[in-house]
């Protein structure tokens, strides 16, 4: 299939296995992400940050439980309507455009990602998806 015809659904279909909600260095959250989660949960912003976020350099990560899962994982994402941009965009993220080999690394961990498409096609498709900011399927 020509790369111009590939869609997000051609490259990815989430199996809801939850593997990406565990480990992998954690989930970065922006201030907008944190504010949306606080509003969704009816929490005070600073309470939510101290309870559910951990600093990582200049940024924040969602806290993880002792078993390595994200604090918001409970057989499914409990904040799905407001999950952080990094979760919403996966696997159509900037680092794949920067180096398409990252798709291969990510696909080894995520069963929903196609592994039989050329990396040039993947990069073109991800670049197009990011330019339109289309939601994940
Ligand atoms: S690892 Fe991939 S397939 Fe599994 S829940 Fe995460 S995005 Fe979906
Ligand atoms: S916010 Fe939801 S989708 Fe994102 S890592 Fe946590 S449980 Fe998974």
**Whose Cα sits closest to atom 1 in ligand 2?**
83
Tokens of 36: 């949306």
Tell if the pTM clears 0.75, that is, is over it.
Answer: yes
Eight-class DSSP state of 92: S
**Who's near 55: CB < 8 A, 6+ residues apart?**
61
pLDDT the model gives residue 2:
53
Going by C-alpha positions, the residue among 22, 21, 26, 96 that lies closest to residue 61 is 26
Q: Which ligand is nearest the CA of 21, by number?
A: 2
Q: Which ligand is nearest the CA of 70, by number?
A: 2
Q: How far apart, in whole angstroms, are the C-alpha atoms of residue 135 and residue 110?
A: 18
Q: What are 96-109's pLDDT values in tens digits?
A: 999 999 999 999 98
113 alpha carbon – ligand 2 mean position (Å): 17
Higher pLDDT, 26 or 63: 63
Helix ranges (DSSP H) in the chain: 8-11, 31-41, 45-52, 85-89, 94-98, 101-107, 119-132
Backbone angles phi, psi at 92, to 5 degrees: -90, 75
72 alpha carbon – ligand 1 mean position (Å): 15
Q: How many CB atoms lie within 10 A of CB 6?
A: 19
Going by C-alpha positions, the residue among 135, 111, 115, 109 that lies closest to residue 15 is 111
Q: What are 63-109's pLDDT values in tens digits?
A: 999 999 999 999 999 999 999 998 999 999 888 999 999 999 999 98
Q: Which atom of ligand 2 is nearest to the CA of 27?
A: 5
pLDDT the model gives residue 4:
63
100 alpha carbon – ligand 1 mean position (Å): 19
């Amino acid at each position: 299939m020509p790369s111009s015809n590939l869609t997000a659904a051609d490259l990815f279909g989430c199996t809801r296995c939850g593997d990406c909600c565990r480990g992998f260095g954690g989930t970065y959250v922006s201030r907008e992400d944190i504010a949306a989660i606080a509003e969704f949960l009816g929490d005070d912003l600073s309470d939510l940050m101290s309870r559910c976020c951990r600093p990582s350099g200049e940024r924040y990560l969602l806290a993880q439980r002792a078993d390595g899962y994200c604090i918001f994982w409970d057989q499914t994402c409990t904040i799905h309507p407001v999950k952080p941009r990094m979760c919403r965009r996966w696997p159509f993220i900037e680092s794949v455009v920067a180096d398409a080999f990252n798709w291969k690394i990510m696909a080894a961990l995520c069963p929903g990602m196609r592994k039989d498409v050329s990396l040039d096609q993947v990069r073109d498709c991800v670049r197009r998806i990011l330019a339109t900011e289309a939601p994940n399927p």
